[in-house]
Amino acid sequence: MAKSIYLFLALTLLDFAPLCFSHNSYGGYLYPQFYDRSCPRAQEIVRSVVAKSVAKEARMAASLVRLHFHDCFVKGCDASILLDSTGSLVSEKRSNPNRNSARGFEVIDEIKSALEKECPQTVSCADIMALAARDSTVLVGGPSWVVPLGRRDSKGASLSGSNNNIPAPNNTFQTILTKFKLQGLDIVDLVALSGSHTIGNSRCASFRQRLYNQSGNSQPDFTLDQSYAAQLRARCPRSGGDQNLFFLDFVSPTKFDNSYFKNLLSFKGLLSSDQVLVTKNQASLELVKMYAESNELFFEQFAKSMVKMGNISPLTGSRGEIRKNCRRINA
């Protein structure tokens, strides 16, 4: 009896351990209480600035979620995306996925300056992005999760990493899945995390190819609903209008819900990379159906996958630094 209770406890602890302490390949680890003593108001400060920014512009929630993704896929979640170009450093802000596209940098600056006043050189820019992504999701109606903390900031950036690691909207299903697997993420993470396209915008330039010349034969992508395609062409012409904005989820563009998955099932995914989740792979199609059916299952998996993405090779211990200004490495 006593033995079975012990076994039960051991299994329970094992089961929950990955939620509390997230190990990475360098032996350092992240945990939610990281700032409890050093900066007890840290999370409250992040939340209040994010709330103010999202109240001003709902899209900012989407932009902040995406910033964390584009950070984590390049050298891990180390705030490399935030560095501006200087002398020898080439900013990731110039990469194809980020140029004229990544946004929210001013919000991160505002959070950082509030935190520097409260507790100087304590809270990393990388952790700010992880918290801001969670708070943004909650503010627009999505799930919440506990954010493991303790990431440190990089002393460099990688333009080539940004260009190569982040999937492009016209990549094939296989290429996208491979890029996720290279980060330790699987097909379940891919489908759940793509669900963040339930909020936010895309520029015409990111999906034009689908409207006019999908595979180089001057034909549109026939996996796109053709009346929806016609509507899109009205503001996304063959040439020009590159920066024109479109909702990724036209049904509920500022609400975090599962309508993105429902859209995919009616062939109204905006990006080719969205639609391929139902047209090119049986396993991902089944996942899309499941999340279209159950908002609850989507939310649960989204939260898990965001924690997993947030654990991609963080800098911990004495590696990296705590930047004073998220845009540059400390002098």
Ligand X SMILES: *[C@@H]1O[C@H](CO)[C@@H](O)[C@H](O)[C@H]1NC(C)=O
Active site residues: 70
Query: Does the annotation place 305 within a ligand binding site?
Result: no
218 binding partner (options ligand HEM, ligand X, none; Cβ < 5 to 8 Å by kind): ligand X
Query: Binding to ligand HEM by residue 196, rule CB under 6 A?
Result: yes
- What's the token pair of residue 292? 């279209």
CB of 208 to ligand X, least distance (A): 8
Taking the C-alpha atoms of residue 67 and residue 50, their distance in angstroms, rounded to an integer, is 13
Cβ atoms of residues 326 and 79 within 8 Å: yes
- Nearer residue to ligand X within complex by CB, 93 or 323: 93
Query: Does the annotation place 253 within a ligand binding site?
Result: no
Cβ atoms of residues 167 and 176 within 8 Å: yes
Query: Binding to ligand X by residue 218, rule CB under 6 A?
Result: yes
Query: Does the annotation place 71 within a ligand binding site?
Result: yes
- Nearer residue to ligand X within complex by CB, 53 or 170: 170
Interface with ligand X (CB under 6 A), residue from 27, 87, 216, 240: 216
Query: Binding to ligand HEM by residue 263, rule CB under 6 A?
Result: no
Taking the C-alpha atoms of residue 236 and residue 35, their distance in angstroms, rounded to an integer, is 46
Query: Binding to ligand X by residue 240, rule CB under 6 A?
Result: no
CA-wise closest residue to 190 among 75, 96, 306, 71: 306
Query: Binding to ligand HEM by residue 95, rule CB under 6 A?
Result: no
Interface with ligand HEM (CB under 6 A), residue from 63, 91, 252, 301: 63
Query: Does the annotation place 169 within a ligand binding site?
Result: no
Q: Please list the residues that pair with 245 across neighbouring strands.
A: 203
Interface with ligand HEM (CB under 6 A), residue from 28, 49, 59, 308: 59
Interface with ligand HEM (CB under 6 A), residue from 123, 149, 271, 278: 271
Residue 18, number of CB atoms within 10 A of its CB: 14
Query: Binding to ligand X by residue 170, rule CB under 6 A?
Result: yes
Interface residues toward ligand X, by CB under 6 A: 168, 170, 213, 216, 218
Point out the annotated binding site for substrate.
167
Q: Which residues are annotated as a binding site for Ca(2+)?
A: 71, 74, 76, 78, 80, 92, 198, 249, 257
